[in-house]
Amino acid sequence: MAGFEITTKVNDRKQEALIIENSATIYKGSFADFDGGFIQAATATNTLWFYVTGIVDSDGIPLEVSEKTYDGTYTKGGIGVANYVAASDNETDKQVKALGYYVLEGDEFESVPDADIGTTTGSNLPGYFTDLLNAYTVDESDAGTGAAQLTILGVSRKDSTKGRYRVNERAFNA
């Protein structure tokens, strides 16, 4: 299962709801960036600004229970499954939003990478770094000693298929 689960959140901050960019696809449990002030899926070249915990309508009601009509396509599910493909006019029409947190220094996450942890040297070891494969998946084969989007903290204490990560390239410090 792809997708990130936040395991340590610094500061007691509230979730925010930010409008999703026209035609963007956003997953629950993914990282996001901004494009022209709107949320878009992060890539391996982006600064990680935002962690998505859900998808809500323009009033902040989760799409699963919202009675408002919305354009685009919503798929229900958990982390790495639930997603919304925004309509081409989402920014100005229905304004469906990504709910989540701005990423801060010290936030920690767990996720199953795209290949078995330990396949690439360092992908299971603290002090190594890696990038995203896409907004909701770690690129296991990218592990190395050079700075990247994520600092590898090791293997999850609860699930050996998951890695532990701290965002290294973020927009805000705690």
Within 10 A of 105 (CB to CB), how many other CB atoms are there? 13
Mean of per-residue pLDDT scores for the chain: 93
Could you tell me the residue range of the domain that residue 129 belongs to?
108-167
State residue 173's pLDDT score: 59
Closest CA to 154 of 144, 164, 162, 141: 164
33 and 84 housed in the same domain? yes
Q: Is residue 129 part of a domain?
A: yes
Residue with tokens 């998946």: 137
State residue 110's pLDDT score: 97
Q: Which tens digits make up the pLDDT trace of 30-44?
A: 999 999 999 999 999
Q: Is residue 94 part of a domain?
A: yes
Q: What is the DSSP letter of 21?
A: P
State residue 59's pLDDT score: 97
Q: Which tens digits make up the pLDDT trace of 36-68?
A: 999 999 999 888 999 999 999 999 999 999 999
State residue 168's pLDDT score: 87
Number of domains in the chain: 2
